């Protein structure tokens, strides 16, 4: 090994990791013109002479990037150590990497599912109609009183009637079905499974499902203009995200196939994959665009589990359900993604609008850019709204709050506009976690986001699709003329 390092020292130059080891370790690119990624300094170079060939290969491999973002950061960290300490450091990293990998001799000993259980699929068995009082298909109103109050009655989303089957949706000519999916195993911070219940019961103002005042900005009442139902909650295997996915996708697909817009309240953001996939199953792969509001890009890759609340975008791409050109992200900030994540998004054609862009150009300009991209995109769009896109001041009850987010004054108009100016075929609101909500702020703003979307849909139904339509009655008091 000395023959590698000493000439470097005599020439007073730095050793390029990729140039020195590219060919022997298999890291060279096909054109045999590797680009240097990091350099070993004159001080560190002689300290590495005692390392074995295997240890040197490891030190220059991507395996060490789990300990430092870049090789040069790792090299700077160990440069001040003695050769013995460096060798111990490298060997310790090698042991950690090896211990973290799958071991067929030990890891297959995990307890398998009991396929002999009589209730193996009991969690997703639909209730047979023959067990209940016979009824004609259609929505059912569960309110005893004409004017429902928020403190009494059986809670439903916005006090709407309920529907249970696709036949109910068809018979009732239902336009929007709001459903809960109480899943939170895809997140390290449990509690989002209670999100649907919180949104159903939390807001102080619930309306009465009979006559509801119009949205003040537009003078359009979504509950008067649209046929809306609470479609209940979709079953989840509470011990397995993976087992839950197929059933969720089917239930969302059934709603979309009935000609109804599925509006999902989660649950963690793992749901974007089965929810969006269920809609794409009906409208066709590549024909649905996604507008993704989130503090995080959720296109993580790698790791043991192939789906979590940080990976749904990656799964949609891998299965070629939504092409990058049809994917728009709004509100990214914080510390994820890093450089590689942004490069991946650019390579795959995603359009993203970060809080840095908003900081630079202002919200109005960025909103118009995003709206232009949406309007020029495919005929159908699906909106995925992670509540953490809002600043924690407006949504503290979420699993991964990130300071410096959007305000409700910024979010409400663009959600309403998207649903008014574009053909929305699905909507999800996820990551509402009432267990960490100090009040009802998060669930109340979540309810309002749903109402903004419904208002936009009602506006579109009534032909109010001009850019950022606002009622003349509410923007001008009329006394200046």
For residues 172-192, give the mean pLDDT: 93
Q: Give the per-residue pLDDT at 13.
A: 30
Question: Each residue of 319-377: pLDDT tens digit?
Answer: 999 999 999 999 999 988 989 899 999 999 999 999 999 999 999 999 999 999 999 99
β partners of residue 423:
380
Above 70 in pLDDT, residue 479?
A: yes
β partners of residue 236:
none
Q: Give the per-residue pLDDT at 27.
A: 25
More confidently predicted of 69 and 321 = 321
Confidence of residue 106 (pLDDT cuts 50, 70, 90): confident
Cα angle: 330, vertex 286, 370; to 5 degrees:
25
Confidence of residue 210 (pLDDT cuts 50, 70, 90): low
Residue reference for tokens 């509801």? 212
Q: Give the per-residue pLDDT at 143.
A: 85
In angstroms, the CA 192 to CA 196 distance is 8
Q: Give the per-residue pLDDT at 481.
A: 67
Q: CB-based contacts of 44: which residues, under 8 Å, 6+ apart? A: 75, 78, 79
**Angle, helices 71-78/83-100, rounded to nearest 10 degrees:** 140
More confidently predicted of 364 and 207 = 364
Nearest Cα neighbor of 292 from 353, 211, 349 is 353
DSSP letter, residue 144: S
Confidence of residue 37 (pLDDT cuts 50, 70, 90): low
Question: Each residue of 223-243: pLDDT tens digit?
Answer: 999 999 999 999 999 999 999
**Angle, helices 441-461/408-421, rounded to nearest 10 degrees:** 30
Mean per-residue pLDDT over the chain, rounded: 88
Counting residues of the chain whose pLDDT is more than 90, the rounded percentage is 75
Q: Give the per-residue pLDDT at 203.
A: 67
- Sign of the torsion formed by the C-alpha atoms of 277, 283, 284 and 290: negative
Q: Give the per-residue pLDDT at 14.
A: 36
CB 325 within 8 A of CB 287: no
Q: Give the per-residue pLDDT at 305.
A: 79
CB 181 within 8 A of CB 196: yes
In angstroms, the CA 421 to CA 423 distance is 7
> Could you tell me the pTM of the whole model?
0.85
Q: Give the per-residue pLDDT at 34.
A: 39
More confidently predicted of 40 and 110 = 40
Question: Each residue of 273-320: pLDDT tens digit?
Answer: 999 999 999 999 999 999 999 999 999 887 777 788 989 999 999 999
Above 80 in pLDDT, residue 17?
A: no
β partners of residue 429:
265, 385
For residues 255-283, give the mean pLDDT: 97
β partners of residue 140:
162
Q: Give the per-residue pLDDT at 307.
A: 86
All domains of the chain in start order, with CATH: 2-100 (no CATH), 142-461 (3.40.800.10)
In angstroms, the CA 170 to CA 19 distance is 66
Above 60 in pLDDT, residue 21?
A: no
CB 274 within 8 A of CB 245: yes
CB 384 within 8 A of CB 298: no
Query: At 109, phi and psi to the nearest 5?
Result: -80, 0
In angstroms, the CA 224 to CA 208 distance is 11
Cα angle: 326, vertex 331, 335; to 5 degrees:
110
Nearest Cα neighbor of 301 from 334, 347, 333 is 347
In angstroms, the CA 377 to CA 391 distance is 28
């Amino acid at each position: 090994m000395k023959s590698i390092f000493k000439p470097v020292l005599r020439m007073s130059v730095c050793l390029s990791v990729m140039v020195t080891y590219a060919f022997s370790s298999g890291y060279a690119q096909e054109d045999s013109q590797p680009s240097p990624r990091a350099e070993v300094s004159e001080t560190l170079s002689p300290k590495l002479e005692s390392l074995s060939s295997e240890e040197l290969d490891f030190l220059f491999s991507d395996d060490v990037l789990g300990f430092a973002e870049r090789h040069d950061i790792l090299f700077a960290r160990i440069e001040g150590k003695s050769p013995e300490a460096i060798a111990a450091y490298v060997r310790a990293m090698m042991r950690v990497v090896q211990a973290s990998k799958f071991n067929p001799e030990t890891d297959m000993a995990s307890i398998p599912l009991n396929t002999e259980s009589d209730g193996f699929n009991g969690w997703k068995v639909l209730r047979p109609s023959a067990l209940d009082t016979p009824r004609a298909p259609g929505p059912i109103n569960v309110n005893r009183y004409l004017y429902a109050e928020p403190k009494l009655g059986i809670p439903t989303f916005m006090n709407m009637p309920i529907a249970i089957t696709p036949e109910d949706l068809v018979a009732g000519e239902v336009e929007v079905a709001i459903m809960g999916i109480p899943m939170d195993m895809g997140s390290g911070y449990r509690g989002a499974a209670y999100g649907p219940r919180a949104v159903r019961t939390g807001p102080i103002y619930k309306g009465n499902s009979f006559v509801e005042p119009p949205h003040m900005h537009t003078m359009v009442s979504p509950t008067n203009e649209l046929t809306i139902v609470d479609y209940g909650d979709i079953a989840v295997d509470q011990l397995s995200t993976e087992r839950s996915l197929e059933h969720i996708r089917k239930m969302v697909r059934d709603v979309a196939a009935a000609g109804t817009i599925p509006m999902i309240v989660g649950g963690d953001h793992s749901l974007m994959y089965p929810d969006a996939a269920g809609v794409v199953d009906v409208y066709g792969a590549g024909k649905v665009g996604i507008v993704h509001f989130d503090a995080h890009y959720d296109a993580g890759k790698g790791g043991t589990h192939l789906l979590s609340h940080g990976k749904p975008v990656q799964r949609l791409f891998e299965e070629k359900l939504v092409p990058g050109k049809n994917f728009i992200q709004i509100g990214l900030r914080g510390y994820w993604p890093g450089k590689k994540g942004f490069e991946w998004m650019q390579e795959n054609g995603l359009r993203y609008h970060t809080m840095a862009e908003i900081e630079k150009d202002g919200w109005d300009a960025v909103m118009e850019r995003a709206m232009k991209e949406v309007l020029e995109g495919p005929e159908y769009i699906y909106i995925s709204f992670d509540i953490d896109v809002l600043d924690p001041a407006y949504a503290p009850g979420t699993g991964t709050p990130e300071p410096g987010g959007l305000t409700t004054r910024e979010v409400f108009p663009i959600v309403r506009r998207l649903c008014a100016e574009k053909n929305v075929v699905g909507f999800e609101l996820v990551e509402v976690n009432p267990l960490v909500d100090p009040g009802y702020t998060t669930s109340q703003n979540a309810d309002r986001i749903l109402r903004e979307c419904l208002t936009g849909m009602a506006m579109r139904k009534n032909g109010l699709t001009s850019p950022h339509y606002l009622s003349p009655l509410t923007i001008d008091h009329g006394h200046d003329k």
